Structure 1
């Protein structure tokens, strides 16, 4: 995917250059997030026996972008999955901020019935 016309938001990657990152691309935005923040979010995965879906499933089961390094994902499925994390408290306040940014991005894409391109690198 050509990101030449995209605005990169490195807020949650600054200071971690050279370490693993996950890029979420929708519209004209590329949101770069340090993998450590994604890990901190995903380690709160619900263990309610109802099965994982969305980003939680893909992350923990190494599917989608976590298997192929990049993929277009269903924004509504990821949005609904990420909403369940709103009730959690995270040690690092940046994880909550990352969650809020992801919810905003996936909400916009979902309203447009669009996919979000995710790159794991």
Structure 2
């Protein structure tokens, strides 16, 4: 029997606001990470500082394609996406950048780590990862 596990930590309190769902699927289960779009957008904007927008997930984000046009949208290169999230360290933000993110910055490290866990699981278990935008 297929089971669904949902983590809505990053969406709680933002009900009614735009929502991003990262979904890991394999033959036995789905794991859903629900994220307020503001957190996800901020994290992707921060990732752009370390990687060119030519990266799979970043190019889709900046072109407003991918999950904006078709939902669910499959992340094709999970390993590349995992490397992108793994390489980001919020401690490397400039003081000005950190100040502009005062309310969001405390959430970013935990969100990044939960995304990494989801992507690692997909890599290790040969599963699929999708992004849904609602």
TM-score scaled by structure 1? 0.82
Provide the residue aligned with 2:10 in structure 1.
Answer: 12
TM-score scaled by structure 2? 0.75
Matches within 5 A, 1:73-112: 73-74=75-76, 75-86=78-89, 88-89=92-93, 91=101, 92-112=105-125
Partners of 2:118 and 2:132 lie apart in 1 by 15
Give RMSD over aligned pairs.
Answer: 2.2
Gaps of at least 5 residues in structure 2 are: none
- C-alpha distance after superposition, 1:9-34 (max 9, x if no partner): 11010000010011011143111000
Partners of 1:43 and 1:55 lie apart in 2 by 11
| Greater RCO, 1 or 2 (C-alpha within 8 Å, sep 6+) | 2
Provide the residue aligned with 1:30 in structure 2.
Answer: 32
Return the index of the structure with the highest Cα Rg.
2
Residues 54 and 81 in structure 1, CA contact (< 8 A), matched pair in contact too: no
The counterpart of 1:61, out of the listed 63, 73, 79, is 63
Distance 1:12 1:30, change over 3 A: same
Gaps of at least 5 residues in structure 1 are: none
* Larger displacement relative to structure 2 (8-17 or 18-27): 18-27
SS in 1 for 2:13: coil
Structure 1 segments of 4+ aligned residues over 6 angstroms from their partners: none
